[in-house]
Chain A
Amino acid sequence: MTDQTQNPSAAVTGEATRRQATRNRGLFGLNKKDTSLLIIVAILTMLAPFLLNPFPEGSSLAQFNAGYPDLMQRFVIFGIFAIGFNILFGLTGYLSFGHAAFLGVGSYAAIWMMKLLTLNVIPAIIMSIIFAGIFALAVGFISLRRSGIYFSILTLAFAQMSYALAYSVLTPITGGETGLQIKSTDSPLLSNLQPGEIGRANLFGLDMRSSYELEVGNWLFTFNAGYYIAAVVMLLAFYMSIRIFRSPFGMMLRAIKSNQQRLNYTGLNAKPYTLAAFVISGMYAGLAGGLMVAMDTQVGPERMFWTASGEVVLMAILGGVGTLIGPVLGAGMIKYMENIISKINDNVLHQWFAFMPDGIEDFMVFIIHPFIGKGWHLTLGIVFMLVVIFLPGGLVEGGQRIARLFRRDRKGGGVEPDAADQRKTPAE
């Protein structure tokens, strides 16, 4: 037991801590590790058209190429969705089973903005964030009266209600089963379309669908305007999520997950904190919904169906709950499997195993058949089980284990702090 006078080291330690804190500061108000993570993610997303197209056109492996605009857009958009979901689930531990509702509300808001005001995507995206935020405030206000499984069920109920409303009752607004598209009869206020011309989403005149194609030898790389806009938005969203994770607010959210009783008896009201986290993650979902419309100008109610809510939960868990980059990896993984594995069919398998004797070839195709094409869910299920059982920290933990194999010195530290350690990061 010592006090200040007996222990002069107190001031010294404080000073050292402070100096260390300043030294570790990188760019944009992030520490060095987070800055390098952000830069690496930025480089990867910008080079995605190359990285995701490693196989030459026409080769038998070309079907594993994911570098086409539609899929790359989905990677980043669902990445945003999962990042937002992780702010709620990863930090506070509140498992929302109705996040697709916010995605849907954002989408409807965006398409109406395009139908009525302008085909520019910026107002549409802003509107989708605002509407999803307001809706999340209402849903969160009611659902957060309960915690644990009851909270999850309440959010699920709200999402299914929204789906049912969009599907039937609100048909004049949502277009019901057929959904909404931009039609030749739509003429937004701030656009000069010819009569009968179908409007296209654009950013100050830059068409979302315009692409530049680069042919190098047998390789074809596509640089799509829509993808790059979505990617920049994703990087912004990712940056904001790092800031939230590292802020005092983020610490409060982790405290809620850790011990809500202690928080209450420490003079803090958990409700507004969780509600704020809920609204923020709802706004992320709305942003993702708005971007979807910006890329592909149509919406249907199935976007709000409960399977879509479940998918984002899988993304977060697969990638690594509570880690920064995990949800993005999870989203990428699931969307890749959905789009690539589902395209493999028996003919492709026969080609692969053509070198084998006929009987064995047929046998191999027979064995693998349930896991491909429409059976991709089975593959996803198995991967998910393996990850949850062997890598509770998700793909991020897998990456760290591999990195550790290559690097004896654990203290040297990768870019992403250990999934398990991440919760222990010091206050500064």
Chain B
Amino acid sequence: MGILEVKGVNKRFGGLQALGHVNLSVTENTVHAIIGPNGAGKSTLLNCLVGKLIPDTGSVMFDGQSVLGRKPHEINQMGISRVFQTPEIFGDLTVLENMMIPCFAKRDGSFRMHAFEQFANEKELIDKAMHMLEDVNMADKRYMHSASMSRGDKRRLEMAMCLVQEPKLLLLDEPTAGMARADTNNTIDLLKEINDKRDITMCIIEHDMHVVFSLAERITVLAQGTPLVEDTPDNIKGNPKVQEAYLGESAH
């Protein structure tokens, strides 16, 4: 029984069957990749996991509880953090403030009226945020206006913001999309390091095979909204069905 169990999920947009009977099981402490050609339904599936979309039928169980019908912030409070395709951070805030927000969310829940409290009394949280920033090598940038940072730093900050919440499951939506090779390799290193340092369950949606094969322990291949095959990276590499799904049109 995995930490995340997706069973028989269907999602239709008008005449388009975006997801057709998707089953997926993510085991704790593994890096699970979901790959597939464009339009295979990867992002739709991810959006069903975080509460942005509600599947037409099927169930999504996380840690023994259903996530269906819950709002994104409630699902996050259950222990699912999400990294976006383009880094989503609080651009108007400093790096340290960006880190403080998930710290508060983790400690105080989804709302707390702390209008007359002071940061000076939040040393524990500040230390926690600072340690996380040290871990991703950004401590010296803590007072920087986060919108003015490079894209790579924004990605790093976003990951740190997710990690400081100590999520049970980290979802990554094409973390290297649109990146240069060097940046991609940096991101892979960062993810590897995160994975080595803490026992974390990650679910990566990715287009780039290089990223997938350097990180994943399990791979699910999605094609036209249905899972084609689920296996280890080595087996996936040699699987003819996968090659057909990816190269289908040109192979004819």
Contact = CB atoms under 8 A, between A and B. Distances in A.
A13 B120 contact: no
B135 A267 contact: no
A1 B193 contact: yes
Contacts of B73: 263-269
B241 interface: no
Contacts of A269: 71, 73, 110-111
B213 interface: no
Interface string B78-111: 0001101000111111101100111011100111
Given A251-B97, A424-B94, A10 B118 contact: no
Contact of A267 (B77, B90, B193): B77
Contacts of B122: 248
Interface in A17-39: 17-18, 21-22, 25, 29
A28 B131 CA distance: 30
Given A10-B139, A247-B114, A426 B94 contact: yes
A258 B142 CA distance: 18
Contacts of B115: 243-244, 247, 249-250, 276, 280
Interface residues of A, number: 49
A2 B88 contact: no
A18 B90 contact: no
B13 interface: no
A306 interface: no
Contacts of B82: 265
A70 interface: no
A251 B93 contact: yes
A109 B43 CA distance: 53
Given A267-B76, A268-B105, A3 B197 contact: yes
Given A251-B100, A424-B145, A267 B93 contact: no
A201 to B, nearest CB: 30
A59 interface: no
B117 interface: yes
A407 interface: no
B134 interface: yes
A259 B119 contact: no
B67 to A, nearest CB: 13
A2 B134 CA distance: 7
Nearest to A243: B116
B59 to A, nearest CB: 22
A307 interface: no
Contacts of A266: 73, 76, 81, 101-102, 105, 161, 165
B72 interface: yes
A347 interface: no
B90 to A, nearest CB: 4
Interface string B179-192: 00000000001100
Interface string A404-428: 0000000000000000000111111
14 contacts: A2-B134, A13-B130, A249-B114, A249-B115, A251-B97, A255-B101, A265-B73, A267-B102, A267-B105, A267-B106, A269-B111, A423-B93, A427-B94, A428-B120
Interface of A: 1-4, 7, 9-10, 13-14, 17-18, 21-22, 25, 29, 240, 243-244, 246-252, 254-255, 257-259, 261-269, 272-273, 276, 280, 423-428
Given A266-B105, A427-B119, 20 more contacts: A1-B136, A1-B190, A2-B137, A3-B197, A10-B130, A10-B134, A247-B118, A251-B93, A251-B101, A255-B97, A259-B91, A263-B101, A264-B73, A265-B76, A269-B71, A269-B111, A273-B111, A424-B94, A427-B94, A428-B126
The 7 A-B pairs at the shortest CB distance, nearest first, are namely: A267-B76, A267-B105, A258-B92, A10-B134, A249-B115, A258-B90, A269-B110
